[in-house]
Structure 1
Amino acid sequence: MGYRVGIIGCGSITKMRHAPEYTANPHVDEIVFYDRNPDRAEALAALFGGKVAETVDELMEDPTIDMISDCSSNEYHHIFSSRALLSGKHVLCEKPISLTIEHAKEILDAQKKSGKKLMLDHNQRFTRAHQKAKEIIAGGELGNVLTFRTTFGHSGPEQWGHNKTNSTWFFKKERSGLGVAGDLGIHKVDVLHYLLDDEIEQASAFQGALHKVDEQGQPIEVCDNIVCSLKTKKGRLGTASFSWTHYGQEDNSTVLYCEKGILKIYNSDEYQLEVLTNNGEKINYELESIQTNDNQTNTGMIDAFIESIRLDHPPMVTGQEALSSLAVILAILEAAETGRVVTVESGSLQYF
C-alpha cells in the first residue's frame, strides 16, 4: 500500500511542483486537494487523477491521509502546518516557515508534540550543483571559505502566480509579509547555511519597492529589491541581492571565495559549477539545469520527504533550520527599515 497525500492550496507551486512530483513518486497512491476556491482543487484533481476535500477539516480528519503539503500563502502556514502535525500527519511546508518567530515556534511545538516529520521546502539544497559544491568545500581542497556573494532574481511572482496579474498575494503585506526577501532571499540564506556549515549572524541592508505596482497602479506594500551585507558566526563576509525586477534572465548565482580558489555556482549558462584554483587550474562541471520559473524540473524535494518518512530518518531541511533562516530574513528586513546593523538573536532560536 502506498501513501495518500493531502495538499492545502492549489496555486502554481502545487500545480508545477508538488502535485507532479508526488504523482511521479512510486510510493504515492493518491493526492487529495483542498483549496478555499473549490474550482482550483477540482481542476488539479482532474489534471492529476486525485480527489477533492471540500473543507480543510475533512483533509485533517481523514485517517487515511499520511502526509500533507502546506502550500497555503505565508500567513497561514502556522495554522495549517501545526494543525496537520497535531492531526497525526507528516508535513512538508512551503517556505518561509512563517512570517514571525513566534508562529514558527508554534509549528515546531506541534512537531515535537506529534513526533511526526516536518520538512521545509528549501529546495536549493537538493540541486546537484549545490550538493557538489558542499562536497568540495567539506573536502577542504580549496581551504576555508573567506567571502561570498549571492544573487537570486527574476522578473517577479506575478509572472508565476496563479492569476498572472499584479493582484498576486505576493505583493500584499498581510499575506506575503516579507516581499522578495521571504520569496527568494530565504532560499539563499538557507543554501549559504547549508554550504558553509555556518550561520549568518549580522546584517545591514537597503530595500525598496523600485518598480512593481499593485492592481491600482500604486507601489507594492513589500520590497521588490533588497541588497545586503552579511557576516557569519565563523567570520565570513558576504553580499546578497534579491530581486523581482530582473527582466530578461533569471539570476540564481553564488560565488564562494576560498583560501585556495573560487567556486562559482550557476554563474555560467554552460556550466552549473566552476572551480578556479589559485594555481590557474579551471574545472567545469556540467551537472544539470537548475529549475527556473520557465524551466520546471523535478526538485528531488518530494522524493526526499517521502524517503525520510518511509525510512524514518531526519528530513533534509528541519524546522529548526527553517527557523534560523527566517530569523536572518527578519534581521535583514529590520536592518533595511532602521538603517542599523542588526544581530540575529540566535541564542533564543535554539529551540530543542
Structure 2
Amino acid sequence: MSKVKVGVIGCGSISRRRHLPEYAALENVEIVAVCDSVRARAEEMAEQYGAKAYTDYKELLNDGSIDAISVCLPNYLHAPVSIDSLNAGKHVLCEKPMATSKEEAEAMIAAAKANHKKLMIAHNQRFVSSHVKAKAILDSGELGKVYSFRTTFGHPGPEAWSIDGRESWFFNKEQAFIGALGDLGVHKSDLIRYLLGEVVEVGSFVETNAKENTEVDDNAVTLLKMANGAIGTLTASWAYVRYGDNSTVIYAENGVLRLEDDPEYSLIVEYKNGETVKYALDKIQTNEEGGQTTTHVMENFINSIINDTEPPIPGEEGMKSLQVILAALESNASKQFIKL
C-alpha cells in the first residue's frame, strides 16, 4: 500500500520526543497533520515535519486523507478524542493510561470494533529488549515456578520532562486524574502482565507526599497477586530525586531474573546452581539526554495497519493494565484488597 498518512493530536513532549520523530523515521509513513491548542506549538511541529497545523482536532479529523491518529494529550482527553478519531474512520494509537475509567476504556474498544479500526495503547515496555528476552526465558520454563517479584518505575517527576514544566497538566487532578501511578505505574502493570500473566488481587498505599500544591499521587506502593500464585510489589514514584529506576526483579524456583537493574547489563540471570549469565542488550528508553532509543511503538502500530493484523497492545490489553491501577486507587481509598 501507499504510505500511511498520520495526524498527531497534541504537540507536547511525548509527541516531540517520541511519536513525531519515530513516525518520521519510518519509510512507510507520511506525517500530514499536527494539532495543538497552542497555535505556536502546532505551527512549529508542522514546519519541522512538513505537515498542516491545526488548533481544533475536530477540523483535523475532517481530513479524509488521514489514515491514523496519535493521541498525545492530557489523560482526561484520551478517551473522548480517541473515540472521535475512531468514529471519523481513523486508526488510533493512544498514549497511556488509555482512559480514566473502565467505562471509558470499554467505550474506546467498542468504537474501534464498530468502525473496524485499530486501537493500540502506547505501552513501550513490552518492546524493550531485556523484557522480550526475559519473557522468552520465563515462557521456556527453565526457571520453574515464579515465587515473587518487584517492579518499579520512578524518577524526579514530570517537571523537567513536560513542555509546561511545573505548570503542567500532570499536576492538575482534573486533567491528569492520576499522578505517578498513571504516568509510570501503568507501564509496570502492563509489563508484569506481559511477563507473568494476569493480576488477580491488588492492595496499595497511594500518597501525595513529595510534591507541593497538587492533589495527584506522587508515590505509590502496590501489592499484586498473580493468577499463577506469584506475589510481588509494584512501585511508582515522582520522588526518586537523583536518577530514574525502571527495574524489575523476578524470583523463581531455579534462579533470579534482573531486568534493567544493572548499569551495564540490561538483563542478568542468576541461576540457583551458581551460574550467572549477563546479557548486553539495547538499553531501555529514558527521557534523559542520550536515552533516545526507539520505543518501537509507532513501528508496531503502523505494521498492524499495513498488514491488517491486531496491534500488539490492543485496547483490551490497555484496559487490563489500567484496571490494575484503578484497583490500586480503590484499595487505597477503601483500605481493603481488591479482587480483579
Q: TM-score, normalised by structure 2?
A: 0.97
Q: 2:330 aligns with which of 322, 334, 338?
A: 334
Partner of 1:200: 199
Matches within 5 A, 1:1-352: 1-164=2-165, 166-196=166-196, 198-213=197-212, 218=213, 220-294=214-288, 295-344=291-340
AA of the residue aligned to 1:333: L
Identical counterparts, % of pairs: 44
Take 2:83 and 2:76, find their aligned partners in 1: how far apart are those partners?
13
Contact 1:272 1:285 in 2 (8 A): yes
Contact 2:219 2:235 in 1 (8 A): yes
AA of the residue aligned to 2:322: L
Query: Secondary structure at 2:167's aligned position in 1?
Result: coil
Tell me the CA shift for residue 54 of structure 1.
4.1
Take 2:164 and 2:301, find their aligned partners in 1: how far apart are those partners?
29
AA of the residue aligned to 1:308: S
After the TM superposition, which of the residue ranges 280-289 and 57-66 deviates more from structure 2?
57-66
Contact 2:38 2:55 in 1 (8 A): no
Contact 2:79 2:99 in 1 (8 A): yes
Take 2:262 and 2:140, find their aligned partners in 1: how far apart are those partners?
23
Contact 1:137 1:144 in 2 (8 A): no
* Root mean square deviation, CA, Å: 1.0
Contact 1:91 1:119 in 2 (8 A): yes
Q: TM-score, normalised by structure 1?
A: 0.94
Take 2:55 and 2:327, find their aligned partners in 1: how far apart are those partners?
39
Query: Secondary structure at 1:157's aligned position in 2?
Result: coil
Which stretches in structure 2 are left out of the alignment for 5+ residues? Answer: none
Take 2:259 and 2:243, find their aligned partners in 1: how far apart are those partners?
16
Q: How many residue pairs end up in the alignment? A: 337
Query: Secondary structure at 1:159's aligned position in 2?
Result: coil
Tell me the CA shift for residue 47 of structure 1.
2.2
- The 4+ residue runs of structure 1 with deviation greater than 4 A are none
Tell me the CA shift for residue 274 of structure 1.
0.2
The one-character-per-residue Cα deviations of 1:65-90 (angstroms, maximum 9, x if unpaired) are 00000111110111110111111111
Tell me the CA shift for residue 48 of structure 1.
2.3
Query: Secondary structure at 2:64's aligned position in 1?
Result: coil
Tell me the CA shift for residue 29 of structure 1.
2.2
Contact 1:146 1:258 in 2 (8 A): yes
Take 2:37 and 2:176, find their aligned partners in 1: how far apart are those partners?
18
Tell me the CA shift for residue 100 of structure 1.
0.6
Contact 1:117 1:309 in 2 (8 A): yes
After the TM superposition, which of the residue ranges 246-255 and 139-148 deviates more from structure 2?
139-148
Tell me the CA shift for residue 119 of structure 1.
0.4
